[in-house]
Amino acid sequence: MDTAFSRRSFFRLAAAASAVAAFPILSEPDFALHAATTRVRSPWELPPPPGAVRINANENPLGPCKHACAEINSLIPEGGRYDFYRTMELVNTFSAMEDLKPGYVLAYAGSTPALHYSVLAFTSKTRSYVTADPGYEAGMRAATLNGAQIIKVPLAPDHSHDVKAMIASDPNAGVFYICNPNNPTGTITSKEQIAWALANKPKGSILLIDEAYIHFSEATPSIDLVRADNDVIILRTFSKIYGMAGMRCGLAIGRPDLLEKLQYFGMNSNPIMAVSAANVSLKNKDLVPMRKKINTDIRSETFAWLEKNNYKFIASQSNCFMLYAGRPGHQMMAAMAKRNVLIGRVWPIMPDWVRITVGTREEMTKFQTAWKESYNSPVTADLVLPELPPSLARNPYTHLS
């Protein structure tokens, strides 16, 4: 393990990575991999070390459900087909479940394209992007590419989005991004706060409500706001509770005239195994409650252990939470990686905190041992990480999570 820390190997691998053409980081797995593997361990091109506890990227260790796996397997021989109708089947299943009229749902290979296109469509050089801090950063990257001003508004003291401050921040904003529950804090913004933002936002702007983690939480979904034809786009993904991050499937849900603006940036054929597995997963009514309970139970046990040991954390309703590291977060990431436990990222506004994903019970037991050891260990020179070369920071496969 220690070899992964040596400066020599870091720079050798960094140099290899920098030979690749530069693209922007796209989304959450990008960020997680970027933070956890490029900075701390091995660059993006290498698989994680054998036996690593991977609680760094807000993935679901359970993977696709049994029925989804069977569907994926059965479709391998069909891999030569575009089979667009399979995307329509998914869209129709979701629309029926959520009582949405035709034309209110678009499917993408993950929610990342939907997030990027929404930001590109509704921000501009004169219409800013307003987001929470700490918050999920992918939209900021799209806003930057669009030349839009980015306004970061700190979370309220209860870690909800400070919607009043967000709305007050710019009368010319184009997009107010609300991630509910928030990534990285896993905290909730109430339906009342969201309704207030909607009622008070500037004309021509949209609320972009990212519900990637909604199924883990008690948060009230906002789809009724779309049903009522408001200026709202909701993002959903099959990467989280459905365990399909590697399959790539997500949805944009909004009024047809809003979704039309996203299509300007291109529509692609979706991976047929992904959309069909997503469709099967939606139809499995027990799946979400069952997985929500698994996550809640393990998260509660982890919080009980943290409390008992006097570690400071932010109570979360998601599959991730922020934990105080007592030192620069990157050093804690390095210390944990040395023990083969990959933990998540650090946000500049909370430099001494790290994000932890809730893994399996077995993984969280390993996490506890490694955390205690790391927390009690002195900071040593090998834990002070070199800065990332800019070429590596622009790596296309260092996806956010």
Interface ranges with ligand PLP (CB under 6 A): 27-28, 58, 110-112, 115, 136, 179, 183, 210, 212, 237, 239, 245, 250, 401
Name the minimum Å distance from CB 149 to ligand PLP: 21
Name the minimum Å distance from CB 246 to ligand PLP: 9
Is the torsion defined by CA of 112, 237, 88, 67 positive or negative? positive
Question: Which strands, in side-by-side order, build the sheet including 250-254?
Answer: 105-108, 250-254, 232-237, 206-210, 175-179, 129-133, 150-154
Residue type, 297: D
Rounded Cα gap, residues 253 and 313, in angstroms: 33
Name the minimum Å distance from CB 132 to ligand PLP: 11
Which residue has the closest beta carbon to ligand PLP? 28
Answer whether the bond into residue 181 is a cis peptide, omega within 30°.
yes
Name the minimum Å distance from CB 109 to ligand PLP: 8
**Cβ distance to ligand PLP smaller for residue 115 or 337:** 115
Report which of 60, 10, 12 is spatially closest to residue 244, judged by C-alpha positions: 60
**Cβ distance to ligand PLP smaller for residue 278 or 325:** 278
**Cβ distance to ligand PLP smaller for residue 299 or 338:** 299
Name the minimum Å distance from CB 18 to ligand PLP: 25
**Cβ distance to ligand PLP smaller for residue 104 or 136:** 136
Tell me the residue ranges of DSSP E strands in 293-370: 320-324, 341-343, 353-357
**Cβ distance to ligand PLP smaller for residue 170 or 210:** 210
CB under 8 Å to 318, separation ≥6 — which residues? Answer: 181, 182, 183, 186, 213, 216, 217
**Cβ distance to ligand PLP smaller for residue 142 or 332:** 142
* DSSP conformational letter for 184: T
Name the minimum Å distance from CB 154 to ligand PLP: 18
Here the tokens at position 385 are 């990480």
Name the minimum Å distance from CB 138 to ligand PLP: 6
**Cβ distance to ligand PLP smaller for residue 30 or 374:** 30
Q: What angle do CA 135, 137, 142 make, to 5 degrees?
A: 140
